[in-house]
Amino acid sequence: MVVPYPPPLRGLRILYVDDEPALLELGMTFMESQGGFTVDIADSASAGLEMIGQRSFDAIVSDYQMPEMDGLQLLKHLRAQGNDTPFIIFTGRGREEVAIEALNSGADFYLQKGGNPRAQFAELINMVRQSVQRHRSERLVQEAEVNLRNIVNSMGDGLMVVDTEGRAISYNKAAVAMAGVSTPEDLHGIRIQDFIPPEHLPSFQSFFRQACESGNTELTRFRAVNLQGRSIWLESTNTRTVYEGQDALLIVFRDISDRMELEGRLRDSEEKYRSIVESQRDLICRFLPDTTISFVNQTFCRAFGMTSQELIGRRLMDLLPAEDRLALESILKGVSSPGDIVSNENVMQSLNGEAMVLEWISSGIFDAEGRLTEYQSVGRDTSSFAKAKQSIGVAGKKMQLLCDIARQDIFSRICACRGYLELMETDDGSRPVYAERLEGMLRKMEKDLEFTEHCEKLRDFNPQWCNIYEMVRDNIVSGLRIQNDIKNLEVFADPMLDKALQNICTNAEQHGGNAKSMRISHRQQGDDLVIILEDDGVGVREDMKERIFQRCYERRYGYGLFLIREILSITDIGIRETGEFGQGARFELLVPKERYRKAGDKVKPGLQ
């Protein structure tokens, strides 16, 4: 407790009571001249009481033996009324019992008259000063104690002083309320260990012993159950002290039950948020204004081939290609207030060395004062979409070219038909020949029209995952015996893939030279997949293996194999004939690694 230093003794006002007028004048003269006091005099106790009722004095000097009311009676009367003004008995009577009674009744000093007046009054002046000084100091201490008590009792935090056994010996109102007792007296002597649940008691006992021995003042949390059965969380600091002459521990504690409940809900919310974020296939990260990463999800980690521990603390800017850093810095300037959202796209290399197109959406996180504290970015891998979009463009151009070629062929055949019609009008002998040639032209134009119809369908292609086994089982109609050895395999291809497989089987049936069966199987070729269709017919001669896929080859396969190759090329699937002539045809479809997967594998293409 800090006690203010009392102010210097200046301008003291003294009441001097004595029934001898000569001594009153003498005492007033000495005390005013030597002590610097202002002295009021009264020639009786009753006159003195009247003056005390009118004003206050810093000290009272009174003779002992006076008529009507002596000095002791005056002293006792004042003390009975609660007046604690310093009081000095200044008397000529020197009986020891009077001095003892005066001091026991509340007098500050007892001084016997007689001797050298200068020395005597100098001693009296000194007693006045001492008594006033002590009185003021005591009053300041009392006021400080009252103020301190009021402060402690007005605290929202509980304050308790316990002895080395844990028994409560002093406490404030907040401590009484938290303890759940009816009156402060009910808390006195209760051990704080009695508030600790049994499962936490051993650790609390250890903590308490350490606090008593070392004066531990670290902030500590513990759970308690008050006398009303309410479970509360407390946060406390502890200081070793001495209270009323005995070793003690001062404990200041705060009820943090609401905060603990809020923290628990916050942890649950963060856990839910984290589980949602971690389940996303999008890349999610948070970073400070200087792009130092503060959070990443597992998808982000997989994309960069690093753990969260390796990524958190690094600058996002350092992970980007040099050409993307200035662009990102410029884009983030667009986030200046809550609700601002910016987007950008960049290309980075994935772990398998392929280019990965990432589309980012970024927003800002602001504090209560509107200051930007973090960014949050969500990145989506749009590589497949970009490839599909590119494939659609290429396929569209290819189909447009095929249709243009078919239309040009039709136009050429129409011109030829007109020529034969003119010849038939001028040469009667060759009309049958010309008529046969016209018939042939018309058949060719029918095929051309059929080809353009297929081309128009290809223009609207939408690649999808096709189950090869189900496609062969449900869509391939053939007189051949089909042996399908492919199980649980999906290929990302044009839906007209079944038409391509059907055409291969039809060609084998019609032109395979007594082919009876067709076997469909697959094998790995590095990271790629090879789908094999082989029949037991004659096969294809070596010099015809490439020509059969040309548009101009019409003798057997016509537009069929040419169109099949175009259908497959839309999704980067190649086709070739690798059979040995005389032992049957063997068509191989080469599927890139990102274009096939196990059936039901929705995460990553490719056989496992």
List the one residue out of 8, 258, 3, 19 whose CA is nearest residue 129: 8
Q: Which amino acid is at 194?
A: D
List the one residue out of 263, 255, 204 whose CA is nearest residue 230: 255
Q: Are residues 159 and 237 in the same domain?
A: yes
Q: Are residues 159 and 256 in the same domain?
A: yes
Considering the domain boundaries, does residue 209 fall inside one? yes
Match 């990463």 to its residue by tokens.
293
Domain boundary residue among 428, 459, 490?
Answer: 459
List the one residue out of 339, 338, 350, 456 whose CA is nearest residue 398: 456
Q: Are residues 199 and 325 in the same domain?
A: no
Give helix then strand counts, H and E, for the chain.
18, 23
CATH number for position 221: 3.30.450.20
Domain boundary residue among 150, 166, 186?
Answer: 150
Report the pLDDT value the prediction gives residue 47, as an integer from 0 to 100. Answer: 93
Match 């893939």 to its residue by tokens.
497
Q: Are residues 413 and 367 in the same domain?
A: no
**CA 160, CA 169: separation in Å to the nearest integer?**
8
Considering the domain boundaries, does residue 267 fall inside one? no
Domains: count for the chain: 5
- Residue 171: strand, helix, or coil: strand
Q: Are residues 72 and 173 in the same domain?
A: no
Report the pLDDT value the prediction gives residue 456, as an integer from 0 to 100. Answer: 62
Considering the domain boundaries, does residue 549 fall inside one? yes
Q: Are residues 160 and 227 in the same domain?
A: yes
CA quadruple 573, 578, 579, 581: dihedral sign = positive
Considering the domain boundaries, does residue 170 fall inside one? yes
Q: Are residues 160 and 146 in the same domain?
A: no
Let me know: does 476 contact 498? Beta carbons within 8 Å. yes
Let me know: does 220 contact 213? Beta carbons within 8 Å. no
Q: Are residues 236 and 322 in the same domain?
A: no
Complete DSSP assignment for 119-150: HHHHHHHHHHHHHHHHHHHHHHHHHHHHHHHH
List the one residue out of 308, 320, 235 whose CA is nearest residue 278: 308
Pairing of strands 283-287, 372-381: antiparallel
DSSP state of 230: -
Considering the domain boundaries, does residue 1 fall inside one? no
Question: What residues form DSSP beta bridges with 160?
Answer: 171, 251
Q: Which amino acid is at 14?
A: I
Regions of the chain with pLDDT less than 50: 1-3, 5, 554-558, 603-608
* pLDDT tens, position by position, 142-196: 887 777 777 777 777 888 888 888 888 888 888 888 888 888 888 888 888 888 8
Q: Mean of the per-residue pLDDT values for the chain? A: 82
DSSP state of 5: P
Considering the domain boundaries, does residue 325 fall inside one? yes
Measured N-to-C along each axis, helices 71-80 and 96-104 cross at an angle, to the nearest 10 degrees, of: 10
Which domain range does residue 168 map to?
155-260
**Which tokens belong to 80?**
């009975």
Q: Are residues 392 and 472 in the same domain?
A: no
Match 């504690």 to its residue by tokens.
253
**CA 273, CA 410: separation in Å to the nearest integer?**
64
In what order do the strands lie in the sheet containing 231-243? 168-171, 158-163, 246-255, 231-243, 220-225
Report the pLDDT value the prediction gives residue 606, as an integer from 0 to 100. Answer: 38
Let me know: does 257 contact 233? Beta carbons within 8 Å. yes
Let me know: does 145 contact 1? Beta carbons within 8 Å. yes
CATH number for position 495: 3.30.565.10
**Which tokens belong to 246?**
């005995």
Domain boundary residue among 197, 225, 260?
Answer: 260
Q: Are residues 392 and 507 in the same domain?
A: no
Considering the domain boundaries, does residue 73 fall inside one? yes
**CA 504, CA 520: separation in Å to the nearest integer?**
11
Q: End-to-end CA distance of the chain, in Å?
A: 78
**CA 68, CA 1: separation in Å to the nearest integer?**
46
Complete DSSP assignment for 29-85: HHHHHHS--EEEEESSHHHHHHHHHHS--SEEEE-S--SSS-HHHHHHHHHHTT---
Considering the domain boundaries, does residue 69 fall inside one? yes
Q: Are residues 510 and 590 in the same domain?
A: yes
Question: What residues form DSSP beta bridges with 341?
Answer: 363
Q: Are residues 131 and 40 in the same domain?
A: yes
Q: In 205-328, at which residue ranges do the beta strands (DSSP E only) sit? A: 220-225, 231-243, 246-255, 283-287, 293-296
Report the pLDDT value the prediction gives residue 288, as an integer from 0 to 100. Answer: 93
